[in-house]
Structure 1
Amino acid sequence: MKTHFRCSATAASGEDMTGKEKAKIKRIEDIRGLAKKYYRDVVELRRYFHIHPELSKREFNTQRKIIEVLGELDEMKIRKVGKTGVIADLKGGRPGGTIAVRADMDALAIDDECGRPYQSQNKGACHACGHDGHVAMLLGTARILHGFRRDIAGNIRFIFQPSEEEVADGSGAEAIIEDGGLKGVDAIIGAHLWQPVRSGVVGISAGPMMAASDEFEIRIEGKAGHASMPHQTVDSILTASEIVIALNTIVGRDVDPMKQAVVSVGVFNSGRVYNAIAGEAVLKGTIRTLDEEVRSQVFTHIKKIVEHTCEMTGAHCDIKKNACTYVVDNDPKIAAIVLKAGREMIDGKAHPIDPFMSSEDFSYYMRKIPGCFIFVGVGNREKGIIYPQHHPKYDIDESAMLYGMEVMANAALKLLENFR
């Protein structure tokens, strides 16, 4: 278990502290005590979800288990949302605002190769992004905050969201919003267990933290023919290859070097016969940006490259773009409160970090209400936690969930103090 960095206020003399300061220190110590109390249960829950992962929009067993655990807490109002999601409302002892805390719950379509006793038993499904830990950590946070319910001025909404990984035909965040998941909510916070950040660190920053994500598809129509007579064909593979190479010049030559963007081709499908020139090729890829203007510019450059290359080779093209997520843009006021809450719990190990070019549908919530999304480090080379998100051998340093719960619980309480 991680050594905790004590809040500096705990070193002050009791005679020098005001009643408010004493209350803050008591709250911090109570959160720590409850987090330690529930930690082993949270680890077991995380392993249960890892053994039984479910893909987007199919999280029925995950939903059932979440409701079962939350049902052990009295005075918790629980309902199903977004078909496979769950919302639980905790009403405080005094009136006030409402803060939402969110976790995503779906797995990836990957075979698990973590090699642990809790390796996935569901072939073709794996929690290779940490959502199993997110659900377990939020269940632990709910238990902690349930212990404060009599003293809470306001309400806390716990959102267990399905379908974060598959957003092309409707994200889980959209479904939650459509089902009234943000009704009456003043602000929302969420956390991601993140391998690039070392275990023991929580990254909390204002402004853009994760990129907008767009999916693109390019269909190249050439002219098929015999491989021995290429002069009678329009080679779709050659045309598509030239496009792939040219797309890799966009970030380095067409985007302002002071701004960030990613263009990656992940799918290249063409041909089935070794001695035939393929008449069709399909490319699929992703665009990641932290700026809406750059987002528009990048797709414009993609269109130009594709159209000009096809014009040069004599091929025809069809280009489609599907907007998947928006920029995860942390509200400065909310982020400042969450950062203060993190520093109270783990002192120098909670600090601002640079944004990442991965994406998150948490951004849908942020288009409706202010929010803050944080990164809880789980990378630990000494424990062999070295594989990145979406790798078949991905795993987490489970001790991260302890301080993740502490920071999220304290952040929710501190935010309520600002929405009275």
Structure 2
Amino acid sequence: MIGPEIDALPVVVLLLDADDRVIESNDWFRRWIGVEPVGRALDELLVVVPDFLDETDTVLMASAADPERVLMLVRERRSDGTALTGIDASDRYAAGKRLRRLHALADRTQTRLQLIMDASIAFATATTEERLSQILAITAAQAYQAEESAVALCGEDGVLRRTAGTNPFHDLIPESLISTVPMRLRQVVKVSGLTEAEQLSPVIASAMRQAGVDAFLAAPLQLDEAATGVFICFFRHPRVFDDEATPLAEALAGQAAQKLAAVRLQRRLEHAAMHDETTDLPNRRSLEDLAALTDLSHATVIFIDLDGFKAVNDHLGHDFGDEVLREVARRLQANVREGDVVARYGGDEFVVVLIADPDSAVEIAERLRRAVEEDYAFLTESLSIRASIGVAHARGPSDAGNVDQLIRLADQAMYMAKARGGNQVASAG
């Protein structure tokens, strides 16, 4: 029996029968639970909750009506039933929950830091935009445990294109619609559920509903305030993003943007090393590599020297001279076949390398000569541009790979054409 002295204590005292029904209770517990406990089953009043310390001699039980109000109880078996005694442990339980959340957050943070480190190492190995995009798509999906992920990058032409991964909205809305949202906002966009999606964009919400996507996260790739792309993670299960989701996305996107800038810089440097700065045509070094990689046993070289170019430079200046070179380059490229190579050899000299029989090569050379002599809208009538052209054809396997020899022969033929008055084609031999 529970006497008056027990009723006065701020503790729990419960007596249970063999079926775990309350047969006696002290006043403190009645006030704490807010209902008359006698006659009720224990599980109607209290439910077991996890204890952070996992102690074996006590149990934490929360009010069935208010799971944040918790008791720490000791169970004692008796011949006539069970006695439960304990104290209010609500503060302890709340502290334990906070500690559990901090531990879970620490574990996630450690995992994500490792992912960022691994991503940094993987990004370092990427030498192309495609490979970089693949690494980013895979890493982002792993970091957020997403079912699908995609990466889209802005090309040199400014157009945004998907370069890796899959987009479940591909057939439902324009590919660029979801990608441009974080780029326009310049921040990580997190959407959990259709309600948030509707607030962002009814069109995107409709696509999510049709594609079976419950949530997505999108982060812009930004460098020097310019957005160069985006990565997106798609979730087909309910997903609520924690406080670390945005910093992680920003870290991954930042690393990827820096590597993308490095890859593009390297590509521009390689392009500059192999191309003429004024015309953007392949240069002499590029021709050397062509000779090393191509079977030239049946090749023809057309050597082109501009007549009248010096007068343009002398009378109008080098800016007009450079414009002449660019226009000649455009005309030459427009009048050769796919697979033919047009290069600037130096000064006002151009070289075309092609596979053709001698007669066809001369026909192409004549076409190029006529293209060069057409009027130039930005030149005065007193200035004209013509072309002296030499053609040299490989004589068989003995000339294979010897593009320098063919260029020398075509150069000699060009001087023959110039000696005859210029603006004509001459063939070597």
User: Is the structural similarity TM-score above 0.5?
Assistant: no
Instruction: Name the structure with the higher helix share.
Output: 2
- Indicate the structure (1 or 2) with the bigger Cα radius of gyration: 2
Q: Highest relative contact order (Cα 8 Å, sep 6+), 1 or 2?
A: 1
